[in-house]
Structure 1
Amino acid sequence: MTDTTRFTGHAALITGAARGIGAATAARLAREGARVLLTDVDPDAAERTAEALRGRGLAVEARVCDVTDRASAEAAVAHAADTFGALDVLVNNAYSCTPDTGRFEDEPDTTWARDLDTTLTGAYRCCRAALPHLAASGRGAIVSIGSVNGVQDFGNHAYSAAKAGLASLTRTLAGHAAPRGVRVNLVVPGTVRTTAWEGRDAQLAAVRRLYPLGRVGEPDDIAAAVAFLASRDAAWITGTTLTVDGGLTAVNAGFRQAVAEVT
C-alpha cells in the first residue's frame, strides 16, 4: 500500500479497467490522489469495481466504453474531461486475445480484425480523443499496456502483432506529442495472474519455472510501473518501453535448466 500523493489533483482515464491490470491501476492511481474514470466494455463489472474502490474512500467513477467504437471512446474521454475538469493521464489497457487455430492458414479474418481493432486501433482511438486534453493539462501522460508477446514468440498471432504495434505507436506518438508536453510510454508485462488465467493453475505453475525471479506477475506489479511512468517522477521519460516480466525476456531460463540437467 502506497502513501504517496503523486497524483493529487490529477484526473485519469483507464480502459479495460473492470478487472485485472486495469482495476489494479485504477486503485493505485486513486490511492495516490487521482480522480479516476474506470471504463470497460462490461458496464456492470466496471461499476462493481468502482463501487468497491469508492468503499475504500477512493475517487473512482465507472463508465462503459467500447474502444472498437470511435464514438464510444470519444464520449468516454469527453466525460472524463467534463467531470474532472481536465484529463492528465490516459492508460490504454483494453485488449482482445483470441486463441490461435491449430494451423496458421486456418485463422479467420475475424480473429485478426477483432484482436487488432481492440488492442491496437482501440488505443489509437483513445489517444486521438485524449491528446488535446492531455496537452491542455500541461502534464499529460499516456501509458499503454503492451506484452512480451510483442517482443518474442509466445503464440497468439493477432494479439502479438497488436502488442508489437503498440510499441511502434508509442515511439511515433511520443515524438509527435513531445512538443505539446505530453509523454507517451509503454509497459510490457510478462505472465500476470489475472482472470484470463482462471482455472489454469497447472499452466501457471509450469510457466512460473521459466521466470528467473521465481514467480509470475501480479496486477499490482504492473500498476506500480504504470504509476511511475504516468507520474512526474518520469518527467524526462518518453517513447520508452518498460519491461516488467520477472526477467523472462532477459534470461533464457529453459536453456540454463537444460544445460544444468546434463552437467
Structure 2
Amino acid sequence: MTGLERFAGHGVLVTGAARGIGAAVARRLAEEGARVLVTDQDAPEADRTAAALRQQGLTVEALACDVADRASVEAAVAHAVTAFGSLDVLVNCAAHCTPDVPLFEDDPDEAWARDLDITLTGTYRCCRAALPHLAARGRGAIVSIGSVNGLQDYGNHAYSAAKAGLGSLTRTLAGHAAARGVRVNLVAPGTVRTSAWEGRDGEVEAVRALYPLGRVGEPQDIAAAVAFLASRDAAWITGTTLVVDGGLTAVHTGFHAALRQA
C-alpha cells in the first residue's frame, strides 16, 4: 500500500490489465483509492486479477474488452461510468508485438496491421469513447503506455511504429482536450520484467548490462509513473512523454564500455 489517496472517488478504466504493467497500474491506482475496471481480451485472467485485488479490500471490477473492436470499447467505457458513477482516468496499456521476420521485405501485411490496430488504433478507440466522460468531470486524465521503441531502434518494426504513433497522438489529443479539462500524457518504458520475458533469463541479464541504473524495470516502476501523471500532482503537465527506462536512452553504456576497453 502506498498510503496515498490521490484517486479517492475516481473511476478508472485500464486496458490490457490482466497481467504485467496493466495489472500493476490497476493495483497502484486502486491502492490510492480509485475504483478500477480491469479490462483485457483475456477475460478469465482479468477476472483473476480483479479477484485478487478485491481480496485485498480494493474496489476493482473486471470486464472483457477487445480494443480492436469499437463496440467492445464503448461497452467497457459505458460499464465503468455506470458502475462507478464517473470516468476520471483512462490508462491505455493494451498492445501487441509481432516478432520481426529476418528480412523486412518478408513481413506480412497481417502482422503489421495487427500491431498497429491494437497498439495505436486501439488506444485511439479508447480515447474517443472515453473523452466525453472524462471532459464531463473536469479533472480527466489519459495516460498511455508507449515504449522506448518509439524513440530509438530496438527492433520490432510494426510495434515500434505504433508506439511512435502514440507519441504523436498524445500531443495532438492533448492540444484538443486541454480546453475540455482533460490532460493526455504518455509513459515510455524500457525493458520491463513481465511475462513476455519468462524463460528468457539470459536475454534479460544481457540487456540489464545496458541500463545505467543496473537493472531492468519492474511493472511497479511504470505504475508509479502512471499514477503521478494521472494525479493532480501533474495538474500542469499535458502532451508530454515521460521516459521511464533506467537511463537507457540518456546514457550510451555501450559507447562508454568501448572506450574503457580501448
How far off is 1:138 after superposition? 1.2
- SS of corresponding position for 1:83: helix
How far off is 1:48 after superposition? 0.3
TM-score normalised per structure 2? 1.00
- SS of corresponding position for 1:211: coil
Mapped to 1, the partners of 2:169 and 2:138 lie a distance apart of 21
Matches within 5 A, 1:208-223: 208-223=208-223
Aligned to 1:172: 172
- SS of corresponding position for 2:63: strand
- SS of corresponding position for 1:8: coil
TM-score normalised per structure 1? 0.99
Aligned to 1:5: 5
Matched length: 262
- SS of corresponding position for 1:38: strand
Mapped to 1, the partners of 2:79 and 2:258 lie a distance apart of 54
Mapped to 2, the partners of 1:106 and 1:50 lie a distance apart of 40
Deviations 1:21-74 (A, max 9, x none): 000000000000000000000000000000000011100000000000000001
Aligned to 2:151: 151
Deviations 1:229-249 (A, max 9, x none): 000000000000100000000
Runs of 4+ residues deviating >4 angstroms: none
Aligned to 2:133: 133
Aligned to 1:187: 187
Mapped to 2, the partners of 1:146 and 1:137 lie a distance apart of 25
Deviations 1:238-261 (A, max 9, x none): 000100000000000011011111
Determine if the alignment matches structure 1 residue 198 to structure 2 residue 198.
yes
Letter in 1 for 2:259: V
Deviations 1:73-126 (A, max 9, x none): 010001001111100000000000000000000000000000000000000000
Aligned to 1:47: 47
- SS of corresponding position for 2:135: helix
Mapped to 2, the partners of 1:49 and 1:261 lie a distance apart of 47
Unaligned runs of 5+ residues in structure 1 are: none
Mapped to 2, the partners of 1:256 and 1:65 lie a distance apart of 45
Letter in 2 for 1:101: V
Mapped to 1, the partners of 2:231 and 2:184 lie a distance apart of 12
- SS of corresponding position for 1:61: strand
Matches within 5 A, 1:222-237: 222-237=222-237
How far off is 1:151 after superposition? 0.3
Mapped to 2, the partners of 1:158 and 1:225 lie a distance apart of 25
Deviations 1:152-181 (A, max 9, x none): 000000000000000000000000000000
- SS of corresponding position for 1:216: coil
Mapped to 1, the partners of 2:149 and 2:190 lie a distance apart of 8
Percent identity between the two aligned chains: 77
RMSD between aligned residues: 0.4
Letter in 1 for 2:193: R
Letter in 1 for 2:49: T
Aligned to 1:248: 248
Letter in 2 for 1:198: E
Mapped to 2, the partners of 1:39 and 1:137 lie a distance apart of 22
Aligned to 2:94: 94
Aligned to 2:70: 70
How far off is 1:137 after superposition? 1.0
Determine if the alignment matches structure 1 residue 104 to structure 2 residue 104.
yes
- SS of corresponding position for 1:223: helix
Unaligned runs of 5+ residues in structure 2 are: none
Mapped to 1, the partners of 2:178 and 2:22 lie a distance apart of 25
Determine if the alignment matches structure 1 residue 116 to structure 2 residue 119.
no
